[in-house]
Amino acid sequence: MDNREQVPIGRQVAYWRTRRRLSQQVFADRLGKSKSWVDKVERGVRSLDKMSTLRHIATVLRIDTAVLFGRDVQPVVVADRVEGVERIREALSTYDSALGRPAVRSVALPADRLTREVGHAWTMFQHARYPQVAALVPGLLAGVQRVHADDPGWGRPLLVEVYRLTAALLTKLGEVDLGWLAADRAMAAATGHPELVAAAAVQLGQVLRASGRARAALSTTLAAAYRIAPPNPDDDGSPAAWSLCGTLLVQAALAAASRGDEHAAAELLDEAAGMAARVGDGHDHHRTAFGPAAVDLARAAAALDLGDASEAVTWHEKTTTRDAWRWLPLEHRAAHLIDAARAYAEVGDPISAARVLVDADRMAPAEVRHRPAAREVLAQVAGDPHAPATIIQLAAALGVTCQ
């Protein structure tokens, strides 16, 4: 959001509420107000003329009151920019195949080698090696576009996979608009193939939630999930299909939680849990890592978005003690630990919040160092008066300003 110094206070409130991943209902509950009151403030229908109210809003949003007036409007924490993002932007901006121009890469990789490289890049992403993946993506985009141009039938799945990977990476790095472009390309390439559409919709749902479009995320992921769901609930189906369908239901549940719809979130997660039981833990069909453990971690994330940090902590502590926790990709585990740190911070336990953040940094350093949401949580925890020295030292080492 640019040039916020000219934006009305209500719009500032809406902007920072979205950045903090709070639904209007959760935000209203924390303020002790109604959802209607929040909606009117954000639309400018209701003015904010009491300094005490402004201070309360700023406290809930974890910003300085001056930010609501357009002063010092830069985000408190800015993540280290990963080298290679601009090259990805350039790669997404080329239309060589459509225009009949030769690809920038002079020597085309054999299709089988390209397939292996795409698989390697996904593995690196799941190990949270984001800078390395960012360096690979431009070449992969050029390669799969050429393969698809030469043989659309064979190259289509590979093209969708690379666009999915690109969208997942860019969303992780906070480049949401660019991630949306990649997810849209994945959906376009997948059109006509329900399973490919479902796979692409996983990343589209993530991007839409990250951009504050929870309603669109909910409708899109639900439509994609039920399109591939076996018509008979008792049908065994395939683990790959259940994994895709269940992952989409998880995405839909998280979107519902973002909107403050506790009932829908719970129903969708319960439905996903039934599918996860069929799949089991320790699998990674369609790069989803879907299983019972993944659903339980999603319950923690949903509880946090719904404003129940205590429930989020309970699910975190229950799930991370199981063997299945260690079978999840490093990226998935580290991302969850960021959520767990936020939950611990909100229940007033900075010691535990610091512990899981340090664990996340040890497990997958790029998750903390390059992900904007993670650095915001780090700033929040390190700014607590009771924060341990370990987290203050980590924040200082990463150049993170405490909130």
Domains delineated in the chain: 4-69 (1.10.260.40), 85-328 (1.25.40.10), 329-403 (no CATH)
**Helix, strand, coil percent content, the chain, rounded in steps of 5:** 70, 0, 30
Query: C-alpha angle 266/267/268, rounded to 5°?
Result: 95
Phi-psi domain of 8 (left: phi exceeds 0; alpha: psi -120 through 50; beta: other) = beta
- Average pLDDT of the chain, as a whole number: 87
What pLDDT was estimated at residue 2? 42
Please name the amino acid found at residue 3: N
Residues 313, 295: contact at Cβ < 8 Å? Answer: no
What pLDDT was estimated at residue 17? 86
Condensed to tens digits (0 to 9), the pLDDT of residues 94-109 reads 776 555 555 554 456 6
Query: Can you give the pTM of this predicted structure?
Result: 0.79
What pLDDT was estimated at residue 403? 59
Residues in the chain, pLDDT under 70: 1-7, 49, 51, 64, 66, 69-82, 96-109, 233-236, 402-403
What pLDDT was estimated at residue 103? 52
CA trace torsion 308, 339, 197, 219 (10° rounding):
20
